[in-house]
Structures are given as C-alpha cells and as structure tokens.
A = this chain, B = another copy of it.
Amino acid sequence: MDPVTERMVADVLAGEFRAIARLITLVENGAPAAIPALQELFPHTGRCVSVGITGAPGAGKSTLVDQLAGHYRALGEKVGIIAVDPTSPFTGGAILGDRIRMQSRSLDSGTFIRSMATRGNLGGLARATADVLLVLDAAGFDIVLIETVGVGQDEVEIARTAQVTLVLLVPGMGDDVQTMKAGIMEIGDVFVINKADHAGVERVEAELESLLAISSRQDGWKPPVVRTVATEGKGIDACARAIQSWRESQKQSAFQLEKRIQIQKERLLELVHAKIVRSLLRDQRTFGRLDELARRVVERGIDPFSAAEVLLAAWEAQRSH
C-alpha cells in the first residue's frame, strides 16, 4: 500500500472526518485505490449497527432519521447518516445533500452525514453503500442510519445492506398498504407509522397488522409496529427500543446468519464481476475486441450472445498468458 493510502487508512481508523469523506469519494468513483484501503479496514469492522430506513415519499424519512440520530447522540453514540438518492436524474441528488447539510445535526462533531446519488452503473449504488458502511464501521461509528429516497427496487437493495430495515408508513395511504405486498413486507423488520397524529392511523395500523398476521417470516420474528410523530420527537424511544429488541432476537438466529451469507454471496459475485470488467477494459487487446464486437453487433454482423462468447474467450486467452 502506498504511503498516501496508508495515511488515509490510519486517519479513518482515528475517526477523522476529512479522511472518511476522502475515502468515501474514492469508493463512490470506483477508484482502484479504494480496494487496498477497504481491505486494510475490514478487520476493524463488525461492531457498528446499521439501520436502513425506507418508505413512500413524504412519509417523513429524513425527519425520523434526524430524530433517531438525536436519540443516539444523547446516549453518547457516534452516528453516521448515509442518504442515498437513486432518483437523481429527475429530482437532482444535490437537493437532498443541500437539504441535509442545512440540518442542525451536521454541525455536531459526533455525527457524520453523507449523501450519495446514482452512479452510472446499475447495482453500483448498493455495493457503494455497503463499502461506505464498512468505512464508517471501521471509523468507530456506533450506529449508521441509511436513508433511501424513493421507493423502487434500488431502495430495497440498499435497505438490504443494513442489518435492520425500518419501513415507514403514514395514515391516509389507505388501500396502498395492500399493494405494498410481499416485497416490502419481507424487508421490513420494524414498521413505523409516522404522522400518527393524523386521521386514519387506526386504519393503516389495522391493515398492516392483518398483513403481518398472514405473512410468516422464516426467522420467526414478528415485526413490531411503532407509532411516531417524528416532527415532534414522539415515539422515537419506542422506535429505538424496537430496533434494539430486533437486534437481541437476531443474535443467536441461524436464519439471520444464512441471510447474511446469502447477501455476501451476491456481493462476492458482484465483486468478481467488477474485477472482470476492470481487467477486460484494462487490457488493450480485449478492450479493442470489445469495441470491434460492439461495432459488428450494431452493423448486425454478429448477434450479441455470440459476441459475448467471443469476448469471454478472448479475455480468458489473455488471462492464461
């Protein structure tokens, strides 16, 4: 490892915000220099609790994150916040960053806030989030809150990188709870009904409870339903207690272990993919081959599936030299 990276790693381990921010930027940009740093940091991880927070737009995710951060800060814990916005092409990822930077929390030296927007490559954001989590874990953060903006498959993938996932609902969603269906019911470890001072809270709670009653989780966990009014700080303690009780229940869970292994398998396959793509693009010959084959496909001289076969063979031939 070069001295610059070595210094950065030491500074990250010491919890220095500037070094943390610099390494996260390298991770976001997919810079090769990030890998040895992450490898060096890995043995220092495993202590931090990560909480994913997802839910419909306008459900009050940011406010809840802010309140939870305040709760943990009051207990003297170091808090990391990652705000991920995969919808940036339309809504502008920078807006989110600005909004968050304006919040009082960021002035507190015990809280590190970082917003991440979509990178060009699909799937890359969940991987980048996992790496940022690794950095904050190694830097000594006790709890990391991962907030996603929007409600798509990307957000589900990102929420999965956290140990615990909170799903936010609000009164007035009405029949929409029904349409959230399997996908979201599966990922929610704790359900939070925010804006619980609004009309319709009983209805959304009843619908949620009836859905939870019929969806049996393999790990036997019954996701608690917590009411909050995040803007007034109400229900935040209950929310933190629900997170804590989930953690205690999972410590000896064989199912939870299997889930983590499964997520790790997907991650390893992604890393292998990234390695292969990098090695394909680095070698002049295979890179030239890629360009030539893409051209031939566009000119309809070869079908894409056969071209992929040729490319793979060329890459293997180059590797075996």
Interfacial residues, chain A to chain B (CB-CB below 8 A): 35, 38-39, 42-43, 45-46, 56, 86-92, 95, 118, 121-123, 125-126, 150-154, 156-157, 179-181, 183-184, 187, 257, 260-262, 264-265, 267-269, 271-273, 275-277, 280, 290-291, 293-295, 297-298, 300, 303-309, 311-312, 315-316, 319-320
Q: Are A87 and B268 in contact, with the CB atoms below 8 A?
A: no
Name the distance in Å between A152's Cβ and chain B's nearest Cβ.
4
10 nearest CB pairs, A to B: A89-B183, A271-B308, A42-B303, A122-B123, A264-B294, A90-B151, A92-B179, A118-B153, A265-B294, A87-B152
Q: What is the copy number of this chain in the assembly?
A: 2
Q: Which of B90, B151, B187, B290 contacts A268 (CB 8 A)?
A: B290
Q: Are B298 and A39 in contact, with the CB atoms below 8 A?
A: no
- C-alpha gap A183/B86 in the complex (Å): 12
Tell me the dominant secondary structure on chain A's binding face: helix
Q: Are B46 and A305 in contact, with the CB atoms below 8 A?
A: no
Name the distance in Å between A38's Cβ and chain B's nearest Cβ.
6
Q: Are A312 and B272 in contact, with the CB atoms below 8 A?
A: yes
Name the distance in Å between A310's Cβ and chain B's nearest Cβ.
9
Q: Which B residues are CB-close (under 8 A) to A298?
A: 257, 260-261, 264
